[in-house]
Structure formats: structure tokens, C-alpha cells
A and B are shown apart, each in its own frame.
Chain A
Amino acid sequence: MTVPSFSAPNSRRRFLQQAGSATALVPGLAALTTAADTRAVDLPGRADNCILLWLGGGACHVDTWDPKKKGDGKKVAGSFYDAIPTAIPEVQLCEHLKRTARLLDRCVLLRGVHHEVIDEHAAATNRLHTGRPPSGTTIYPSIGSVVAHERGSASDNVPPYVVMGYPSASRGPGFLGAGAGYLYLTDTESGPAGLRRPPRVNVVRQARRERLLGKIRQRFLDNNPNDTRVRDYADATRGGLKLAGPKFMSVFDLNSEEDQLRQAYGSEFGQRCLLARRLVESGVRFVEVAFNLNFINGTGWDTHNQGQQQQHRLIDQLDQAFATLITDLEKRKRLDRTLIVIATEFGRPPEFDAGGGRGHYSKAFSVVLAGGGLKTGQAIGTTGELGKTILEHPVSIPDLHATIYQALKINPAKELYDGVRPVPITDNGTPVAKAFA
């Protein structure tokens, strides 16, 4: 067994070597790189894993993390729910985040996140994931792929990056290439798409298949000696089958957890969070968990019109899962090393639309960071009376990315390489210094 991780043997190292040799060949590039490296930030990152809870659709900040005076659901703008006190003095949350409120001292609230994309979910989702506007000259990698690329997986035969949600280019590796790609699953029951054996293939058949394949493949290898690409592929086949084998697949067996804990996590989203914890423990570096159970309120977090009426049920499920994830990780002494991020493509305005719901708003919204060895127990940034303007400490999307990289011990001033072309890891982002002890 020679496949150390998700990608083929040393492919990343080889890639870096190529990039390195290009540096040497092209005068001036080295200087450029050095100049960039001097921007490295001196803040202590402590996390080794990241769980991104993605609230697709655009979760309303004034109905969750940044409560304001109440509106009436019609003409009077404002929050839809009452606010409650939290473990952080003078910081309030919406009443449906009651479990989280008690644990808020494990979190950093970023209340001044902003960007300018509002009209389209896909474009804003892309912005949050890649940290940049799309370009006609390259595809930027997602934050998960960058982490996978920079830190690899934490143990052998485990992918560095797993998505629980639907595949999309926004979540993809972009110019970093397939080695920084993700494995995805759309429900916790059946495991990753295409990874698990088809239902009709039992262990006996699988063994028979692999025995026969072994012979056929060996003859081909013997007939094609010194063919590195063929050999790489044969190795990858062995690695793949191992990944699909009992060891890694057992990670997806949530039944092995105690009933009490499973119940504590709650709904399907909670079960995904539990699975995320198990994946992190198995060595997966970055897990993105989509909260996309739209049927709960009809629209998911995209609460136009009637979607608003049942929004509290989404918030409640999020609250239950998130609070359990924090305590579970804490109990297992992993919270300091695991950064939890709750993000969304944009917030929503305090005003209500004609149907009693809300439109899109990106000039101010909230992102939550928890654990990860950060200086938790603070809300950074404040917004105006109705949550539409940022009064202090704005955090751009590049800043947000820089903060996450910093927390994960990745130099936020580093240059990545698209071929020979240097691409800063973030678009001039600076970590939020206050979030670090």
C-alpha cells in the first residue's frame, strides 16, 4: 500500500517541485514570493480541523446571531423573535438559540461580515467559498480545497475534505487540481456517493471481484513495465478500494454511537454534525455540512414570503445540533483543535416582503466561529439599529478567509500557484486579530 492520502503518491509534492523549479527558471518570481511572505501574520493558530456548517439560502442575521428590536412581520422592520441573554455578558441571541446562548462563551461572533453580491445565490455562495469574484482566467479553489491542499488529511487512507451536501464548482478545488477535491454525500444513511459498494455486491462478491482484478491488472502491469501512469492508477485503485473498505466506511456507521448522544444531536442536520465529528476524528481535515432541509419550512434559509413563518424550526434544529457538537467536541477534548464555522451566503434585511418573508441582504451579516483555540467569548463588530449598517469592525470575505486560515495554522499571506502564476491565498485578506489570544 503506497497511497498515503487522497491523491496519488506524492502528486502534491511533485506539483510543488514543478512549481519550485519554475520559480528558479523565471527571474523575478522568487522576489515576488519573498515580498509576499513578509506579510505573514504573527498570530497563534491552534486548530487542526474545520467543520463548516453551511446555511445555504442566506440565513437572516437579525433573526439569529444579531437580534434587534422586534418588527411585526409586516410593515414594521426588525427581528422576528425576542432576544435572550447569553453566556457572554451584554451579548444577546434570538430566543430560538437558547442552547447555544448558554455556550456562547465558546464562540466568536463576527457581526460585521459583508460583501456586495446580492442578486443570485450561486454567485454569493461562490464568493463565500472562494473568497473572490469569479474570473475569466482561472477557477479559484474553495476554502475546503485550500485547507485540503495545505494540510492534507490527518491520517492515511482518509480524504482530507468531505462535503455533506450537493456537489458544485464553488466547493471544488479550482486550479489546485483534483488532489484537493472533495468526497461528497447527500445523506448520512448511504454514505458518500459512489464510494459504498452497490447494494447487490456483498463481501463474497467483492472478494471475488478483487481477486480477478488483481490477476488481470498484474498481467497488464507486467506487460507495461516502467509505465508510471499505469502504476499510479493501479495504486489508486488499491487505495480507493481500501477507502471503500470497512475501516473508513465504519466512520459512517452512526449506529455505533450511543442513542442518547444521537438524540441529543437531533434531526438529520444534527446527525450530519455527528458524522462530521466522526470524520474529523478519523483524520478528515475539512468537513462542510450543508443545512439544506428545505422541507421544514418550505424554503430553507431563503425565507422569502411564507418561508419566514416556520423559520424558527430551522433555527431550533441548528441550535440543538450546534450546541451538541460543541459539548461533544469539548467532552472529547477536541474543541480547541476543531474550528467550527457557521456561514451563509448573505444575510437578510430587517424589512419584510409582501408575503411576510425577507429578501436578500449582504452589506452586513453574521458568521460564527467556535472552538478552534480562538479567543472565544466575544462578539466582534456591531451593526446599526436594524442590522443594516456596520458600525464597527467590518470583516470582508477575504478577512474571514484569512481568519480561518490563520486559525488552521495556514499562513494567510501565502501564495498559491496556478501553474507558474502566483495567486495569493486570499484576496488581500487580514485575519481578525481580536479573535486570537
Chain B
Amino acid sequence: MRTIITTTLVLTTCLVLRPLVPTQARAGEVLDRYAVLVSRDKPVAWWRFNQVGAPFASRGDTQLLARATQSVQAGVAGPRPAVYPLFAPTNRSVALSGSDRLIITDPGDNSPLDFTNGDAITLEAWVRLDRLTGNQNIYLVGKGRTNNPGQASENQNWALRLTGRQGTARVSFLFRNSDNRKGVSNDFHRWTADSGFRPGRAWHHVAVTYEFGAPDSLRGYVDGAVVSGTWDMGGKTTKPPVVDNDEVWIGSTLGGSAGSTLPGRIDEVAIYRRALAASRLATHFEATRPDPRLAELSDSKLPNHAVLVELLEGVPAKRSWDFVRSRPVERWQQPAAAWIGLPKRYSDEGLIVDRPAPFLLRARTRLALPPGKYQFLLRARSAARLTIDGKLIASTKLLAGGGGGHQSVPDAIDSGRDDLVDLAPGHNQALVNVTLETQDDNSRLVLIEAIVGGGGSRTELGELLVGYARNGQPFQLLAANGTNTLGLSDTQWDRYVVNYSRQLLTQNDTRRRKSDPLEQEYWKRRHRLARQAVPATPPPALDGSLGPVDRWLGSEAASGTDLPLVDDHTFFRRLMLDTTGVVPTVAEIDWFGTRPVATRRNDAITRFLADPRWADHWVGYWQDVLAENPGILKPKLNNTGPFRFWIHESFRDNKPIDRFVTELVLMKGSRYGGGPAGFELATQNDAPMAAKAHILGTAFLAIQLKCARCHDAPYHPFRQEQLFNLAAMLNRRPLKLPATSTIPGGAPGGDSLVKVTLKPGDSIDPTWPFVELAKSDLAFGELRDNSDARERLAALVTSPTNHRFPQVMVNRIWKRYLGWGFVDSVDDWHDAKPFYPGLLDHLARELVRSGYDLKHVARLIFQSNTYQRSVHPGTTTTDPAPPAARPVRRRLEAEQIVDSLFVVSGKQMRTGYLTLDPEGRRGASTFLNLGIPTRAWEFVALSNERDRPALALPAAQSVVDVLLAFGWRESRPHPTTLRDSTTTVLQPLALANGPAANRTIVLSDDHVLTDMLLDDLSLPDIANQLYLHVLSRPASAEEHAEIVELLASGFSNRRVQQAKRKRPSSRRLTRVSWSNHLHPQATRIKLELEQLVRAGDLPTRRLTSDWRERAEDVIWALVNSPEFIFAP
């Protein structure tokens, strides 16, 4: 606060000085006020660094050249207005790192650079310090101690330095007395300031003045103000300094040691042969560094009925509030001051990218609050501040990174009141009493700031919220004027979280779709070229009422074309499962029933192709095919990043599939935050690009290179070299075969099927190995950067001249919806003779001509009679005859089963965050937080190889158990399309008795069927509703009778009048985090949680228990019927 006031005063003074006209100017240089000020104080040498290249000539009394070492960056921005109004807008500086320095030769004996007893000196510089490590000594300018040959060691005549202390940079002055006894450290005399500034993007002015021989004469300055300090080495002395003809260096010393080199920028280095007065040095610094609190008071741009949220960069790495607030880089509005995460940032290619951490979240709103007594609540994971009308009300502490596992488990912070949800794990809060006084219109300016990321922790906001309670009334969220009051109780917060997550999804959609206009243009152009290259094939002229799929199958003599179509209910359930991945709700079935019979099926196809759940249903598929394999705890088992989020977004946007492939191959964006760069990762794999080449080969070209990983493939015509050619393309340069990617000697006896033609250490070139699929020369327009082997590879896979790719993709979709493929082994087309090649070719052309739009092909399939016929009861995989024109029996995928269970109950999954470090104290390369899942694809291996009860995630495990039973892979180190389809007893058991499925059965107050069963419905209606709800069809007469009989007794008295609805408790039992999981309390908490999960949801008390139990038994029987788990 004090510094801010000082700054403001200085500002006022300077406004008075402004009319002064500069007197000294050099041709071509922009004049600024700083030049006037410094010139007046007559430096002996002064380097401004305004030229774009070295050497830099000094101004002032002496002309001295400063030579730069090779990697000094000249011409970078220096301090500039508006923040630093003394300078010209074009002011430049130099940036240093490593062993960079600027070197000035001493003109000789008694030069203006030599100082001894009786001489006064002023040294000054402007500096922007990027980072500071420990007690580092950073040289700004000094004479001697260069380690130059021929010079005495330690010959420091004088030096202005910055010394690291407790994370701050302190001004320091150093010289060596003329005794200069070898090894005697007290011959150094060092003065260090007691306070300093933190590294960051702000410029600081630093200076010292001293008269040699007069030990009390030393003064240090930061930003124009005197700072106190002490002679903390060698003490004060009247001894003279070492004087010789060694060089003056700017920015480093000791031969250019990295530790002494300034990591950052420097400008305006000046040396004076007199001690400038404090009043003079005060004028050398001026900054309009805004007090964020004061600045906001004058901000008239605040929206009226919203909270304005902005993200600002430039928080120093050490994370402090003391830095210049730059212009926000992102901005949005929301109704309330509560966050559970941030929208994603996208590159101009529409890919998720990481924000540079740490950064600042700033939120402001004007809020009408009547005068009175208030309690304010601020909750945050790390440092946050709440300010009202410029007054700091509350703050929270900075999150410490790391933590070994032995820390104690914090007590649950429970306010003791029902109106306040428990504090999230690892978060901290400030609860303060505030009296607001009466003021004009009672409009208060609320400012919230929070530091996100940094310090080795993951870049996650966590839960940030501001609440208040007036005069002891219930707590509510701080929300903008005119928005609804939002309470902070468990259930209200739960609802807020659900809504906020949904809004984030749509906010991300909007941001992403606006982020990449040039990219979209490029792909449109490519698709125009593709349409020119691939003409359409008209379907055979059969029955004109049939669509292309049926006409082609008819012309290719498929059997089964005379079979009838399934009824509407069957069709609708099938379509929903294939588009959204879940069974329909009763409301959706009702909608379907209201559509005109003639267009009903087409209407449904149109509606559900556009449903965003389309994306959810595709993620699990591509996770398998692309071997997405993130690990949430120190991943070391061939793990990738969580590029699931990129898959999800790609399908939400219906991204053209050629662009999808291209992005995957280029592997850009965020590695741990969900971008395709996560695909590049393969932990502890010594040939990661070979693994990726294998995945791409099976996924998009149906080339099976699995065996080629270690030897030439015995059953395929592929040599190991071809796999490594692809790998080298991904590697962008030749690859050496690792010793582990081979087998010894090609098997004994030499008659082995397995041949080894490469030796470890052989170098393999990045060349396209599959010229029979696509020629290696590409048409104009497909490549943007011909020199990039990855881009070439992507283009070769997706070029319209590559006929294999669209056919493989079409076959994948077809197999997914029909259960059989034109080529049944969708990822291995070796020696394949596709069934119905005419239709396959037609659909592949349709895919290309539609702009690689998967939904277009899906629509053609869904609209076909073939898709709409009854299923063949069995599989055709071993049948040599072409499959009939109808689907084969498909069991639902694991994800469809789990997601449908939650549709049936309407409940939330309530598994909590998928992370073992909910505190967010570890980096993303060792601990991931994959969020709170709402769909099955979001789950992940729970990684408790350590077998520690405290690391168990029982609620999530209960869902994972169901997924695993039905063939979901928790570990995906290699690509797969067809999962293990073995039927085991664990499958029905998971549904019959497992705790996750049991939640679908138990009629608690958050079960959608509980309300239905309490409605004024007749028993037959209830029977019908239950069948519709679980099996998407009305009950038959026999089924009606069964249920009516079972539920008749006690039906009329089933309601318990006085019983109240009870929302499930969301008490947080997850205070266990990695940092405390070895504490005994952590184990106890997790065992308690395990018990709770096993006990299941609390049944409603609004239905008599006897009748409710019978209703539950009906739901159980319906869910456990094979009809539920097979696609109709």
C-alpha cells in the first residue's frame, strides 16, 4: 500500500516536470524524458541499448563500446509507456541468459572507469528479472573479476549486483580491497539491501551511490526510493579497492558463469563519477504501476449484470501480488463469483493449449449491497484476495507444491451450519466479519483475484468462490446484480457445479469454434480439391424408393433384403444407442411418438445425429483404437497424455475425419491438458514413434504392424523397416533401431518363420513405405510445409489419392452399426476380399465427397432398410458366406451399459474427481486430475498398484468394476478395435449385485422413477412406464399382468404422507490426498468411504418400504434381462 501511494505522488510530481524540453539528442533517436533527466546528471558512461545490434556506443562524457557475446538479444522491448512514461514507446533493451554479457574494454591506467579512495561513484540500471534461484548473485555491471587471463583473480573494483534472498532480488554493491589476499573472503566488502523485489515482468530501477574510503556513504535505491541495508561480508572498510585494467562487464561475471548472469533484460546502464543525491535518483524512476484496487474504481466498463472475469499473465514465478498488471489475455462474463474450473484456451488451430503458469484470475462486478453487518467467505485452492471498494477484505494462502505423503489429514472444515458446503480438499478459506457503511446508491465494487498454477503444482484453479451472509441469514454466493440468489448448501452447490460444468462445455465449444478461421478455410479448400479428385458413383438403378445402401446391396445380391423392418420402438432404441450411446428417456420416446409416422424415423435420425452425446459415444471407441492410456499416478507403463478431451471435442465439432487424422499425426497442443500432443507421449517406451506408427497403421490404413515392432511380420508382407520408416517420419529424422526392438538371432535353426532383417543401431529413413496405397508425391494444396515429415505423413494418409483410408473409415463405421464389416477385421486388411465392394467404394466416395463427414455416412446407414431390419441371431465372423443385409446381434459396449444405467436412474455418478492428488500440489507429469466424470469414457485406471487402501477411490472403482466386466480396458498400451467379447459370470453379477448398478435399482429421492411412482398413475400405467423406461418399449399384456400382480398389494397406500424428500448427501469424504495418504487417518477415511459405497443410496421414505422394495425388484429384473444389455 505504501509503495503505491508513493508511486502516485511521484506521478503527480512528474506531471509538473513534463513541459521540460530535452536538450541533448542524437540523430535518429527518439527523445524521451529519461534522456533529459540522466543527461542533466552527467554520467561518465551510459548505455541505452536502443540500437538493434551490438556493439553499443555509450553516451555521456566518454565514448565506450559495449561488445555483446553471441546470443545477447538486442532490440527487445525496454521499459515503455504507459506503465513507464519516462520512455519513448519504441524504447529498446537487451535480453541476456546463459553466459551472455556485454564487454567494455578499460581504456587504460587512470581511466574514467577506475575508482579508488576519494572517488565517488553512482551505478544504475533498469532491469527486468525473469527468475531468481536461491541466493544467486546476479551481476548488472561490474569492473574486474572477469577471470580474464592475465588478470588477478577476484579483482573486483566495483560491482552493482542483485542478490537473491527469500525469493526477492536485493540491490547489492561489492568490491575487493587492494590487499586481495588469496582465499581471504573478508577482503571482499559487500553491502546488501534488506528488502527487494520479486522477479516478474515488471521493470525496476536499481542504483547504488558510494564514496570509496567513506564506509558510511553507501546508499542503495530501488525504484527511486532509498532502501536500507548492511555490509554483510567483510564489513565496512576505509581500505581502497583493487584497481587495474580489467574489463567492465554488463550482465555477468566470472568468465560468464550462468549463476552470475542476469536472466532477463537490462537497459539504461549508467556510471557516474559522483554520488547522485536521493532527490535526483528519485526522478530517474516513474511508473504508473496501477494499484489494481484503485484502478478499478474508475473503471466504467464493468458490465451491469454480470461478473467480469479476466485472465492476466505476468505473475512472477515465485507467485506474489507485486507485479504490473498487464492487459488481460482472456475475458468473459458469468453471473456469480464461483468457479470450479476455467474454460480451455485454444490455439489458432483449435487445439487445447496450456496457459503459461502462474497466471492471475481477476473478477470484478458492481454490486448493490445495503449497509449492515456481513460475514464474507473466500475459498480458494491457492492465494486469492477479496477487495471491496478498494479495501482488502479477505485473503487465502498460497498453495505449497509437493508434499511427501506423511502429512496429516486436515479436519473436515464444516461451518457447523447447513447453509455451507464443506471445503474442498486442499483448499483454504477466509471467513471475516465486515460492516458495510452507507454510501451513494450502495453500489460496491467487488474485486476478486486468484493466482493459478506455478510452484510445481498443476495449473488448476480448483474451487474458487466468494459467499456472504447478511446479519446471520443463510450464506449465498456473491452474484451480480439482477441474478438469482444462489445458496451455498450441499445440494445447491452440487447443482451449481453441474450447471457450471455444462456451461464450461458450451463456452469451450464457442471459444474453439471461433479460434481457427484460417484452419477451417484450409480444410474447406482441401475438401473442394478432394471432391474434384473423387467423382461420385451413382447407385445402381434398382427400386427408386430405396436409398443408396439398399440399392447397392440389392445389386450385389445380398440376402435378407426381403426381411421386414423392426418396429418403431426397436428402431428408436437402436438408433439412440448408436448415436448417443444411451437408451432413450421416456420423454424422448414420447417425442418420437408425436412425430408423423411418415417422417418419424428420419426426424429421429436428424435430431440425434445433431445431439452432442454423439461425441461421448465415439470417445471410448477411439480411446481403444488410438491407445489413449493416461495414468493418474506417476505413469510409467507406456502411458500417453489424456488426449481423450481432443477426441471428444473433435466429435462435438464433427471435425472432418481427415483433419482429425492430421491433427493426431502432428501431435500439437497441450500434452497433459487434453491436446493431441498427449498422443506423442509413451512413458518408458524406448521406441515411442514406432508404437505410434503401429497405432496409426492399424487405425487408418488397416495395416497390422504389431509384429514388425521386433521383426519382419510373419503373416503379413511387412518388414520391420517399414514400421520404422513410418516411425522416422513421425520422428522427423532418421531413427536408430533400439536394441530392445529385436529378437535374438531370428530364432534358432534358421528355418524360423520370423525373420530379422534389421540390426540394433541400424538407421532407418523417414520415407513413406506404402507406395502401393498412396503415391509419395502429393497434389498441390495438400501440404503447407513440405519439409515437415509429419505433415507429409498426414497428407499421404488423408490424400484423396489414398483410397484405402476412406474405405477403412467407412468399414469402421459400418461394423460399429451393423456388427459385421465389409472386411471383418477392421484394423487388418491384409489379404482381405471385402464383401460388397461396390457399396464399400460408394460409401468411401461419399465420405470423401462430403468433406470427410462421418455423420453423412452414418446418416446413409441409419436411413437404410439394412440397418432397420431385425438382427441376425448370431455372428457371421466365421461364416464364409456374405452377411445378410441386416445387423447381427451386438452386445452393448461397457460404456453404453454404464451410461444407460445412469439414464435409467437419472442419478449423478457422484464418484468425485478422478485424481489421487485432489489438492493439486503435484505436476501434471506425475499426477493428473481427469475431473468429475459424467460419462463412462471419462474413467481411467485407478492405478492402485501400490495396494494402499488410502489410495483407493471406492466410488469410482464401483463404476470401473462394471466397465471392466464388460470389456473396457483400463490399460491401453496398444491399439484395439474389437474388445474381448467373452461372456463371463462377472458381467451379470456386476449388474445383479454390484454397488454401481445397485444405484440404478434403489429408489432414493434422486431416482427419476421415484417421482413417477408417486404420481397419480394407475398400476397398468406404471407397468408400462417401467418397461418404457428400462427397455424403451411398452409392456405386453402378459408383462402388464405380471407387474400389476406384484405391485397391487399396498399400491393405494404406497405414499407416506409426512415423509420429506431427502437429497443425497454430498459430504466430502475425500480429504485424503497424496500428501497425506500414508497417515493412518487417511486409511480410516477411505475404508469408511468404501463402506458407504457398499451400503448404497438411501431409499426414499416417501414410499412404504414394502411396496418400494417390490418396485425395486421389478426394476432389477428388467435391468438384468438380456434384453437390456443387447442392442435391439
Contact = CB atoms under 8 A, between A and B. Distances in A.
A261 interface: no
Given A122-B946, A199-B1094, A230-B1126, A236 B984 contact: yes
B490 to A, nearest CB: 24
Interface in A292-332: 292, 294-295, 298-300, 302, 305-307
Interface stretch (B74-82, B469-477, B1109-1117): B1109-1117
Nearest to B753: A28
A37 B951 CA distance: 43
Given A208-B1110, A241-B988, A302-B946, A194 B1125 contact: no
Contacts of B8: none
A186 B942 CA distance: 14
Contacts of A259: none
Interface in A103-122: 119-122
B873 A168 contact: no
Contact of B1080 (A121, A138, A244, A295): A295
Contact of A178 (B633, B682, B691, B982): B982
Contact of A136 (B636, B974, B1042): B974
A92 interface: no
Interface string A206-232: 001100110111011100111111101
Given A28-B714, A195-B989, A243-B985, A56 B946 contact: yes
B945 A122 contact: yes
Contacts of B889: 227, 229-230
A119 B986 contact: no
A22 to B, nearest CB: 9
B709 interface: yes
Interface stretch (B259-267, B381-389, B578-586, B743-751): B743-751
Contacts of B627: 136
Contacts of B1095: 199
Interface in A354-369: none
Contacts of B1116: 209, 213
Contact of B980 (A125, A133, A177, A241): A177
Nearest to B966: A178
A225 B873 CA distance: 8
A165 interface: yes
B916 to A, nearest CB: 12
Interface in B1034-1055: 1038-1039, 1042, 1046
Contacts of A240: 985-989, 992
A181 B891 CA distance: 20
B443 interface: no
Interface string B671-687: 00000000000101101
A263 B1105 CA distance: 41
A391 interface: no
Interface string A326-346: 000000000000000000000
B495 interface: no
Interface in B1071-1128: 1078-1080, 1083-1084, 1087, 1090, 1094-1096, 1099, 1109-1110, 1113-1114, 1116-1118, 1120-1123, 1125-1126
Contacts of B985: 3, 6-8, 159, 236, 239-240, 243
B637 A32 contact: no
A212 B1096 contact: no
Contact of B891 (A31, A122, A229, A244): A229
B983 interface: yes
Contact of A217 (B684, B1002, B1121): B1121
Contact of B684 (A123, A179, A225, A292): A123
B1109 A205 contact: yes
A172 interface: yes
A167 interface: yes
A208 B1045 CA distance: 12
B1042 A215 contact: yes
Nearest to A140: B973
A197 interface: yes
B950 interface: yes
Contacts, number: 283
A56 B947 contact: yes
A227 B1128 CA distance: 13
Contacts of B982: 7-8, 11, 177-179
A159 to B, nearest CB: 8
B342 to A, nearest CB: 30
**Most B CB within 10 A of own CB, among A134, A178, A194, A195:** A194
B1122 to A, nearest CB: 5
A212 B1118 CA distance: 9
Nearest to A56: B947
Contacts of B638: 134-136
A168 B986 contact: no
Contacts of A224: 873
B637 A126 contact: yes
A208 B986 contact: no
A76 B950 CA distance: 33
A244 B998 CA distance: 15
Interface in A79-138: 119-123, 125-126, 133-138
B993 A198 contact: yes
Interface in B967-995: 967, 969-971, 973-974, 980, 982-990, 992-995
A234 interface: yes
A243 B998 CA distance: 18
Contact of B873 (A26, A169, A226, A298): A226
Interface string A256-296: 00000000000000000000000000000000001010110
A170 to B, nearest CB: 6
Contacts of B1096: 198-200
Contact of B952 (A3, A166, A239): A166
B780 interface: no
Contacts of A205: 1109, 1113
A54 interface: yes
A212 B406 contact: no
Contacts of A155: none
B875 interface: yes
B1123 A216 contact: yes
Nearest to A229: B889
B10 to A, nearest CB: 51
Contacts of A294: 948-950, 1078, 1083
B986 A198 contact: no
A435 to B, nearest CB: 26
Contacts of B1042: 212, 215
Given A29-B753, A194-B990, A122 B1117 contact: no
Interface string B860-893: 0000000000000111000000000000010100
Contacts of B1121: 213, 216-217, 220
A139 interface: yes
Interface in B634-648: 634, 636-638
A318 to B, nearest CB: 15
A196 interface: yes
Contact of A179 (B969, B984, B1083): B984
B863 to A, nearest CB: 25
Contacts of B714: 26, 28-29
B706 interface: yes
A141 to B, nearest CB: 12
B987 A236 contact: yes
B685 A136 contact: yes
A198 B945 contact: no
Nearest to B974: A137
A-B complex: 4 closest residue pairs judged by Cβ atoms: A136-B691, A227-B873, A194-B994, A169-B971
14 contacts: A11-B983, A120-B634, A136-B682, A168-B943, A178-B982, A198-B1001, A200-B1002, A212-B1113, A216-B1118, A217-B1122, A240-B986, A294-B950, A294-B1083, A421-B706
Given A56-B948, A205-B1113, 11 more contacts: A28-B714, A122-B945, A137-B707, A177-B980, A178-B967, A183-B986, A209-B1117, A216-B1039, A228-B873, A299-B1078, A307-B1078
